[in-house]
Amino acid sequence: MPDDSIYTIELKPGEEANSIFIQKVNYELFDFEAFSEKYDYIHSLVFEKTIIEIQQLLLDGIISCIDLVKYYIYRMHQFDNYHAMISINPNIINEAEIIDEKISSGLVGELFGTVVTLKDTIGFEALPTTAGAYVLRNSKTLRDANLVSKLKEEDALIIGKSNLAEWGNCISMPSLDGYSTLGGHTKNPYGAYEVGSSSSGSAVSVSLNLAMSSIGTEFCGSLIGPAGQNSTVSIKPSLGLISGDLMIPLSDVLDTAGPIGRTVEDVYKVFKVMVGSSNLEGSEELVKSLNMTEKLNYSSTNKVGVYHSIGEDMSQLIKDFENLGIEVVSINFDHVDWKDYDLKPIIEYGIVQNVKKYLNHPDVVCDLKNLEEIVSYNQEHNCVPYGQKVFLDALESKHDSIENHISQTKNLCSSSIDYLLDKYNLDMLLSVNMHLAALYSPAGYPALTVPAGYKDSGEPFAMTLVGPYLSDIKLLETAKLFEDTYAYRRPPGTKLFEYK
pLDDT at 346 over 80: yes
Calculate mean pLDDT across residues 17-38. 89
E-strand spans in 308-409?
327-331, 364-365
β-strands 115-119, 233-236 pairing: unpaired
pLDDT at site 365 = 98
What would the pLDDT profile of 436-461 be if each residue is shown by its tens digit? 999 999 999 999 999 999 999 999 99
pLDDT at 497 over 60: no
pLDDT at site 4 = 43
Q: What is the mean pLDDT of the chain?
A: 92
CB-based contacts of 106: which residues, under 8 Å, 6+ apart? none
3-state secondary structure of 495: coil
How far is CA 116 from its chain centroid? 12
How far is CA 139 from its chain centroid? 22
pLDDT at 7 over 60: no
3-state secondary structure of 369: coil
118 within 8 A of 164, measured Cβ to Cβ: no
**What are the chain's domains?**
5-486 (3.90.1300.10)
Q: How many CB atoms lie within 10 A of CB 487?
A: 10
Calculate mean pLDDT across residues 158-174. 93
pLDDT at 367 over 60: yes
pLDDT at 3 over 50: no
CB-based contacts of 375: which residues, under 8 Å, 6+ apart? 388, 391, 392, 395
**pTM of the predicted protein model:** 0.95
3-state secondary structure of 184: strand
- Hey, what amino acid is at 429? L
pLDDT at 1 over 60: no
pLDDT at site 289 = 85
3-state secondary structure of 462: strand
Calculate mean pLDDT across residues 46-59. 98
pLDDT at 315 over 80: yes
d(CA 461, CA 455): 6
Q: How far is CA 109 from CA 105, 155, 290, 310, in A?
A: 12, 5, 21, 45
Confidence at 308, pLDDT banded by 50, 70, 90: confident
d(CA 129, CA 249): 12
What would the pLDDT profile of 275-293 be if each residue is shown by its tens digit? 976 666 567 788 888 888 8
pLDDT at site 6 = 37
What would the pLDDT profile of 121-155 be if each residue is shown by its tens digit? 999 999 999 999 999 999 999 999 999 999 999 99
Instruction: Give the whole-number percent of the chain exceeding pLDDT 90.
Output: 83
Calculate mean pLDDT across residues 26-42. 93
What would the pLDDT profile of 61-114 be if each residue is shown by its tens digit? 999 999 999 999 999 999 999 999 999 999 999 999 999 999 999 999 999 999
d(CA 72, CA 203): 15
d(CA 113, CA 154): 9
* Range scoring the smallest mean pLDDT among 10-24, 50-64, 445-459: 10-24
CB-based contacts of 403: which residues, under 8 Å, 6+ apart? none
pLDDT at 231 over 50: yes
> What H or E segment, with its residue span, contains residue 370?
none
